[in-house]
Structure 1
Amino acid sequence: MLYEHAGARPRIHDTAVIAPTAVISGDVVIGPGCQVLHGAVITAEGGPIVLGEHVIVMENALVRATAVDAVHIGDHTLVGTLASVAGATIGQEVFLASGARVFNGAIVGSRCEVRVNAIVHRRSRLPEGTVVPIGWVAVGHPVQLLSPDRDAEIAAAQPDLDFPGHVFGVDRDTPDLMVQLTERYASTLARHAHDVPIGGTDAAR
């Protein structure tokens, strides 16, 4: 299903194929030869999303842009089943395996592999050709690749990355952090109450 959100409509190339149960919302450009499979959600929450040529977004994957962080996914990239990309730039010929997560402000270089259930943390940068092993975490710039049992090292890198400040504009040390965060985010998400369904993919070609 396609939706106009905040006055912007998806634009889908004639040769792209979008499953009828996929959701495409807002300022989204889907390039030639792309495939978006059943249950995938591609939603532009204030920032644009651009999929290049021959990008595949598998079943139940999520691609989300924010007002702070747009999304660009390069040509010949595969976003695996249940993977998610939030406000990140993904290069060409990248493989994001099932359950991979790439967070806000991250940059994943061309020909990288983020393997099953691996994470690329916010504002981290993967140089071209980097492989993040199964379940591992990529964090920082320059990037560190850490196994999940090295949680102290992963946590130590987090304050510098400032998730609540970068994504939601709320200081990490705010006493009522989650109150401020959820109220601000809810007011942004409430704009979906005014979304306009625009039918099947033919309406966006």
Structure 2
Amino acid sequence: MLIEHAGKRPRIDPSAWVAPDATVCGDVSIGPGSRVLHGARLIGEAGGTIRVGRECIVMENAVIRASRKHPCTIGDHCLIGPNAHVTGAEIEDEVFVATGAAVFHGAALGRGSEIRVHATVHLRTRLDPGAVVPIGWVAVGDPARILSPDRHDEIWEIQRPLDFPDWVYGLDRSTPDLMQHVTRRLSQSLAGHAADLVIDG
């Protein structure tokens, strides 16, 4: 399903294919020979752009999102695995993001890097070309440190100053009732979807 959002329509190269039950919404471009499979969601929020390069594969139920502050670019010959989640990241050519992996706002993945099953690349993290994040592991920082998930204290020591609430929502972590402010702000920005226009069923 192709959806116009905030006056922006998806642009799909004639040689690309989007499954009929996938959703491509807003300022999204999909390059030649790329494939967006069943149940995948590519959502460019108002002011947010998503660019998918040549001969990319976005597998079933993957989610790719962008916002005004955090555009998302996926280079050529990339594979985004089933149930993977990519938000506001810059992914260079020939990157593999495996099943259930998560890549967050402001992350930069170098050419040929691999994010294996259920691995995480935290916000503002930079991976060198060819880097590998093992199954279930966590990459965090710039330059990235790649740590096993049982090393939470070390991960948090690097992650905390990256400041997810401020970087993503513009809110200080110490704000009283932080989640009330986050959800209120998100609710206001997502309200614009009420005016979306389905342009292809």
Instruction: Give the TM-score taking structure 1 as reference length.
Output: 0.96
How far apart, CA to CA, are the structure 2 residues paired with 1:181 and 1:59?
Answer: 29
Residue 39 of structure 2 is matched in structure 1 by: 39
Instruction: Report sequence identity in percent.
Output: 56
How far apart, CA to CA, are the structure 2 residues paired with 1:183 and 1:119?
Answer: 27
Residue 203 of structure 1 is matched in structure 2 by: none
1:72-87 to 2 correspondences below 5 Å: 72-87=73-88
C-alpha displacement at 1:100, in angstroms? 0.7
Q: Partner letter of residue 176 of structure 1?
A: D
1:15 aligns with 2:30: no
1:1-205 to 2 correspondences below 5 Å: 1-46=1-46, 47-200=48-201
**Aligned length, in residue pairs:** 200
- What secondary structure does 1:49 align onto? strand
- What secondary structure does 1:193 align onto? helix
How far apart, CA to CA, are the structure 2 residues paired with 1:82 and 1:111?
Answer: 20
- What secondary structure does 2:130 align onto? coil
C-alpha displacement at 1:142, in angstroms? 1.3
Unpaired stretches in structure 2, ≥5 consecutive residues: none
C-alpha displacement at 1:45, in angstroms? 1.1
C-alpha displacement at 1:96, in angstroms? 0.5
Q: Partner letter of residue 2 of structure 1?
A: L
- What secondary structure does 1:198 align onto? strand
Q: Partner letter of residue 193 of structure 2?
A: H
How far apart, CA to CA, are the structure 1 residues paired with 2:107 and 2:173?
Answer: 19
Instruction: Give the TM-score taking structure 2 as reference length.
Output: 0.98
Cα deviations across residues 142-171 of structure 1 (Å, max 9, x unaligned)?
110000000111111122111110111111
How far apart, CA to CA, are the structure 1 residues paired with 2:161 and 2:183?
Answer: 22
